[in-house]
Amino acid sequence: MSDSTSGIPPSGADKPKPDKMQPIKPKPQDLVPPGQDDDYEYMGFTFANKKDYDTFKYKFLSNMANLMMAQIRSDNENMIKALKKMREQNQ
């Protein structure tokens, strides 16, 4: 009834055994950990020591946060003025 020349391999003992899996070795990183390099770089600027690097970085970030807050405050005031104007026109 069944043809033994079919492309399906027989099940059971004839299964190939897999080779032992080799552990994955992490690739070495070319990055230098902070504090071990002579130069520090942030936003395209290079600094000779960590103190100057940190000072610039945190002043830059605080300045950006202050600018964003000022812009949000300005947008909020403009939106309140527009809403008041619309309310006055509808009355």
Q: What would the mean pLDDT of 58-70 be, rounded to a whole number?
A: 95
Between CA 56 and CA 52 the distance in angstroms is 6
Query: pTM of whole model > 0.85?
Result: no
Q: Which residues contact 47 (CB under 8 A, 6 or more apart)?
A: 39, 40, 41, 53, 56
With bands split at pLDDT 50, 70 and 90, how would you rate the model's confidence at 80?
very high
